[in-house]
Structure 1
Amino acid sequence: MSTRKRLSFNVKLNTTGDTITIHISDPSNLQADNLALATWGSSEVLANTLHRLPTPDFAGTGAIAGLGSVLELGAGTGLVGLSAAAIWRVWVTLTDLEPILPNIKANIELNRAVIRGYGGSAACGMLDWARPDLLTFFVPEHESQLTADASGEWKPWKFRVVLAADTVYSEEHPELLTKAVTARLERSPKARFIMCYPLRIGYLDHIRDLWERLELAGLGCMQEGRESLHEEWDEDTPYEWCVWRWRGDI
């Protein structure tokens, strides 16, 4: 389920009860994969779970403007990535398909000042999971500039953390998502892939397929949990989140 009535979300920053309000511009006129763009339940669940997870070790990711820190796949309205920027105080790159980027850019601008106040920042980029080797960044002029080739593409860049929320809702997604994760997740013991999805009956086969593909790719789940949304969402579907890392010695 999604919401367009509530366009601001209070996200927990830490276990002591501090919160940040993330503002989302109304994306109801945009569509991707024939779905109206909105903030889905998995995004709110994951955004409010990040503060409870062990903070990733970002040491050594500070290369070009910090863009080696965190990548969000299928960012949609950007709630998860913007929350991560404030909670972890890092630079997050929010990616999606080209039709979605104007709304992501708008939401970055809406929240830039408050996120910067917590020591984080955000940029966005176009990433097609079928071609995850090609990632085009869009860095605002007033932020630190990313040095890329003439096309604006930064092909080899790897990220310490990859985030994904509600990105598995068709039979093609497990293969594509695994391809994108393995292409962009840093090959390091410190690297983490963190995702969240609804446990709806129609999606369970896709989730099983995704787990199998991630395991075959060399990743293993190290932590998982289940959450429910608050009454405002008016649904009983449980949500599962999980944290993955590369298995064995890297």
Structure 2
Amino acid sequence: MSSRTRLSFDVKLNKLGETINIQISDPSGLQADNLALATWGSSEVLANVLHRLPVDFSNTGVLQHVLGVLELGAGTGLVGLSAACIWRTNATLTDLPPLLPAIDANIALNKDLLSRHDALATLGMLDWSQPECIESGSSSGTVLKEGGHGDSIMNVKRMRARVIVAADTVYSEEHPELLVNAVKARLDSKPEARLIMCYPLRIGYLDHIRDLWERLEDAGLVCIQEGREEIDDSWDEDTPYEWCVWRWQAVGERPQSGT
């Protein structure tokens, strides 16, 4: 997997060509799941695809008890922070305990950017083997505003999300089952809910990706949009990246064959 310890990322904000600059703290020395913390290629790819994807965040927020965005396996949080700004919503960035301090630092680094785009970010610990409860983390973004009037603490422990994003989260045989269980537990049941993922199409991971697709379809989800992107030359690799958008199947609908 190609990774980057770069500390600044320009992310496409809209189709007009405007960008936002996401700041990332120095992740050296941190690791989880035997991987050093860095920004993976899938994260930059997915962050730059989000502006092209229409989403519906109506009836989300504190009063509706529905998260806007939930990032699974956030790593440095690039995708979740980008999603919050691009879609002007709240995002909860989750990962395992060793990585939470870095995510917390990145939320703080981008506090002003989030504010300028009417966006908010929170931090949480989520174990995919026990996805029913998100443990709140300490972050400068834990105070959320509902409609811009008054401060409220969002209790995210058991809230579902209108959009789940996940980048480069399938690189072992255990991950498809764990990821799908987390999605089933945390994705909003509304027809507007979306699961948006990105992963590298490396030979060693293709079986895991096929397993993931089969499990998502068995869980009642259908892929409605997908694409492939090449990462820029600065990453020094030529592996294609695939992104895909999923929703809950309508009654009587059959999934289309995918990857």
TM tier, smaller: over 0.9
TM-superposed deviation, 1:130: 0.1
After superposition, the C-alpha distances for 1:147-170 in whole angstroms (9 at most, x for unaligned) are: 64xxxx723x11100000000000
> Partner of 1:75 in structure 2?
74
How many positions carry a matched residue from both structures?
A: 243
TM-superposed deviation, 1:184: 0.1
Secondary structure of 2:161's aligned partner: coil
Secondary structure of 1:72's aligned partner: strand
Task: Tell me: CA distance 1:30–1:64, structure 2 relative to 1, closer, same or farther (3 Å).
Answer: farther
In structure 1, runs of 5+ residues without a counterpart are none
TM-superposed deviation, 1:67: 5.8
Task: Tell me: CA distance 1:207–1:142, structure 2 relative to 1, closer, same or farther (3 Å).
Answer: closer
Counterpart check, 1:91 vs 2:93: no
**Cα contact 1:61–1:160 (8 A) shared by 2:** yes
After superposition, the C-alpha distances for 1:11-40 in whole angstroms (9 at most, x for unaligned) are: 000011100000100112101111101000
TM-superposed deviation, 1:140: 3.5
> Partner of 2:147 in structure 1?
none
Moved more, 132-141 or 23-32: 132-141
Give me the whole-angstrom Cα distance separating, in 1, the residues matched to 2:164 and 2:63: 17
Give me the whole-angstrom Cα distance separating, in 2, the residues matched to 1:240 and 1:74: 17
> Partner of 1:176 in structure 2?
178
**Cα contact 1:37–1:76 (8 A) shared by 2:** yes
Amino acid at match of 1:154: K
After superposition, the C-alpha distances for 1:175-232 in whole angstroms (9 at most, x for unaligned) are: 0000000100011100000000000000000000000000000000000000010000
Task: Tell me: CA distance 1:86–1:174, structure 2 relative to 1, closer, same or farther (3 Å).
Answer: same
**Cα contact 1:66–1:90 (8 A) shared by 2:** no
**Cα contact 1:93–1:125 (8 A) shared by 2:** yes
Give me the whole-angstrom Cα distance separating, in 1, the residues matched to 2:111 and 2:154: 21
**Cα contact 1:67–1:92 (8 A) shared by 2:** no
> Partner of 2:149 in structure 1?
none
In structure 2, runs of 5+ residues without a counterpart are 145-151, 253-259
> Partner of 2:211 in structure 1?
209
TM-superposed deviation, 1:93: 0.3
Give me the whole-angstrom Cα distance separating, in 2, the residues matched to 1:89 and 1:191: 16
% identical equivalent positions: 64
**Cα contact 1:15–1:51 (8 A) shared by 2:** yes
Give me the whole-angstrom Cα distance separating, in 2, the residues matched to 1:115 and 1:93: 13
Task: Tell me: CA distance 1:85–1:141, structure 2 relative to 1, closer, same or farther (3 Å).
Answer: closer
Q: CA RMSD, aligned part only? A: 1.7
**Cα contact 1:189–1:249 (8 A) shared by 2:** no
**Cα contact 1:30–1:36 (8 A) shared by 2:** yes
> Partner of 2:131 in structure 1?
132
Counterpart check, 1:248 vs 2:250: yes
Counterpart check, 1:14 vs 2:17: no
Moved more, 63-72 or 106-115: 63-72
After superposition, the C-alpha distances for 1:74-116 in whole angstroms (9 at most, x for unaligned) are: 0000000000011000000000011110000000000011121
> Partner of 1:219 in structure 2?
221
> Partner of 1:23 in structure 2?
23
**Cα contact 1:66–1:91 (8 A) shared by 2:** no
Counterpart check, 1:146 vs 2:153: yes
Give me the whole-angstrom Cα distance separating, in 1, the residues matched to 2:226 and 2:65: 28
Task: Tell me: CA distance 1:146–1:170, structure 2 relative to 1, closer, same or farther (3 Å).
Answer: same
Secondary structure of 2:16's aligned partner: coil
Secondary structure of 1:182's aligned partner: helix
TM-superposed deviation, 1:249: 4.3
Counterpart check, 1:117 vs 2:116: yes
The TM-score normalised by the length of structure 2 is 0.90
> Partner of 1:160 in structure 2?
162
The TM-score normalised by the length of structure 1 is 0.93
Give me the whole-angstrom Cα distance separating, in 2, the residues matched to 1:142 and 1:194: 24
Amino acid at match of 1:60: N
Secondary structure of 1:178's aligned partner: helix
TM-superposed deviation, 1:141: 7.6
Give me the whole-angstrom Cα distance separating, in 1, the residues matched to 2:168 and 2:71: 12
Counterpart check, 1:191 vs 2:190: no
Task: Tell me: CA distance 1:200–1:188, structure 2 relative to 1, closer, same or farther (3 Å).
Answer: same
Secondary structure of 2:247's aligned partner: strand
